[in-house]
Chains A and B, each alone.
Chain A
Amino acid sequence: VDDAGIVQLYWDRDEQAIHATAGKYGNYCTSIAKNILENKEDAEECVNDTYLSAWNSMPPHRPSILSAFLGKITRNLSLNKYRHNTADRRGGREVTVVLDELLDLVSDTDSVEQEIDCQELINTINTFLSTLSAEKRGIFVRRYWYFDSISEIASRFGMTNNNVSVSLNRIRLKLHNYLLDRGFEL
């Protein structure tokens, strides 16, 4: 079944939609959840919740890129789970490292002075990403969207771990300056 067919199954309220989604994107969603949670049971729970959320979202949504739509749901659910687990000190190690890298970009404090327009911020980040080469953009997205490890990214792009780390350092620095120049003091 192609993606449009799967989406149509959701719209038709046909429970085969769940089976088709699990068959085609189960591994994809599971890999995202595992990157963030590093706990098999938690990851499986988030992936199952992804299917439920997709069922509740379609209709009204009709995603143009089903993989990214599902992945985003998994990512959000897993991050929420991570936050919950962190309180119990059961968070994944890799995601902790990834989040700490984001400290290059944000103060990690609750800002009360500045009301951040999240949609405007996303638009600005998208514009920044459009200035990167496809490879650099891919490295950034694999790290901060998929939460891939450095070695996984290095393997995927045929690079060394050091090259990946340097690239990420530089992209973070450039993004930080890019956002600052546009008034986003995060």
Chain B
Amino acid sequence: MRKEDFAEVLGGINENYVKEADTVKKVRKPFGGKWGAAAACLCLMALAVVLLFMQATEAPQDGISPENDACGGPPYIIVNDKTFIISSHLSVTDELPDGFVMAGNINIIGGFKNCPYYLNPDTPEWVYVYHEVRIDGTADSAGTLTSTPPHGAYVRYVDERLRGKDLICYNGNYYISMWSAEYFGDNPDVTREYYDEIDSLYGVRIEGTVPDGFVPAGTAEFTGNDTVPTGPLASNAEASAVYYDPNDPTVVFAETHWFTAAAEENGETRHDGFNVYILYDCPFRTETETIPSLDKNIQ
């Protein structure tokens, strides 16, 4: 089908959706809103990382040329039919992490061409790619990245099913934050019914104390950004106190705090509460992958 014909077909979608899309007025989310100051800092850092990489891709050097297929989105690669997107965290290193071995060269969609990439069979959710960056992977306490002259570094790309997902592993079960759980698409994290049920009960975060029946499970061990947490009680988001209901394994709460600075408030207001995590069938729980041959998977 021609793209123009498909555009014409799309003109026939449900008029309610057309009206719905027009009722969303132009907004600016206030800093310190529902995400809170800490989350906002992380987002800014992540955005800055992406922007810096995008700037880098716009300045090809020494035969490296950019592509524009990502339409301004973060660069990504496809390996073994899986999509890996550049990490939203600081993940630049001068030395290749242990266990990763070169698997060939790859074109980054929205980035450089013909870059060496590295796989580790024990960490199939990550791919490292060596390409030009303009940061050294460090940031100050305010989250400001350290700019550097353009140089080559190993950059982490994360399986799209894991990237941006806040997970907790507790008592053999995996839980995903309501903030990052997706109930739509072909590979939803949870069913819509389940999501809606929990959403109606708690939303994505509660303020104050945990509901009756929830008791402390301990403090989750932080296993690192972009990791699949493993252990008796572990989190890839932060080391925080976790609460569970002995009679209901479907939900756990992770202690958190956030700040708001709305116009009607006198300065910044701290809020204490809990992020809601729901039971999750983690696709990385038992997944094993092998390193592909060098002549394959080159996009």
A residues with a Cβ closer than 8 A to B are: 28, 63-65, 67-69, 71-72, 75-76, 79, 82-83, 97-103, 105-111, 116, 118-119, 121-122, 125-126, 129, 131-138, 141-142, 144-146, 150, 155-158, 160-162, 165-166, 168-170, 173-174, 177-178, 181, 186
Docked complex Cα distance between A121 and B12 (Å): 10
State whether B2 touches A122 (Cβ < 8 A).
Answer: no
Q: Which chain A positions have C-beta within 8 A of B72?
A: 150, 161-162, 165
Docked complex Cα distance between A155 and B165 (Å): 25
State whether B186 touches A100 (Cβ < 8 A).
Answer: no
State whether A142 touches B184 (Cβ < 8 A).
Answer: no
Docked complex Cα distance between A76 and B7 (Å): 9
Within the complex, what minimum Cβ distance (angstroms) separates B154 from chain A?
Answer: 22
Nearest-CB residue, chain A, relative to B160: A170
Q: Which chain B positions have C-beta within 8 A of A101?
A: 71
Docked complex Cα distance between A82 and B3 (Å): 13
Within the complex, what minimum Cβ distance (angstroms) separates A4 from chain B?
Answer: 15
Which residue, of B1, B12, B17, B29, has the highest number of chain A Cβ atoms within 10 A?
A: B1
State whether A141 touches B13 (Cβ < 8 A).
Answer: yes
State whether A106 touches B3 (Cβ < 8 A).
Answer: yes
State whether B74 touches A162 (Cβ < 8 A).
Answer: yes
Within the complex, what minimum Cβ distance (angstroms) separates B188 from chain A?
Answer: 8
State whether B13 touches A126 (Cβ < 8 A).
Answer: yes
Nearest-CB residue, chain B, relative to A98: B7
Q: Which residues of B (128-156) have their CB < 8 Å from a CB of A?
A: none
Docked complex Cα distance between A150 and B71 (Å): 9
State whether B6 touches A68 (Cβ < 8 A).
Answer: no
Given contacts A102-B3, A137-B20, contact A118 B71 (CB under 8 A): no
Q: Which chain A positions have C-beta within 8 A of B83?
A: 173
Q: Could you list 24 examples of A-B contacts with CB < 8 Å?
A: A28-B22, A68-B15, A72-B11, A82-B4, A99-B3, A102-B3, A102-B6, A105-B6, A106-B1, A106-B5, A108-B3, A126-B14, A135-B24, A141-B20, A145-B10, A150-B72, A158-B27, A162-B51, A165-B71, A166-B73, A166-B74, A174-B184, A177-B186, A181-B186
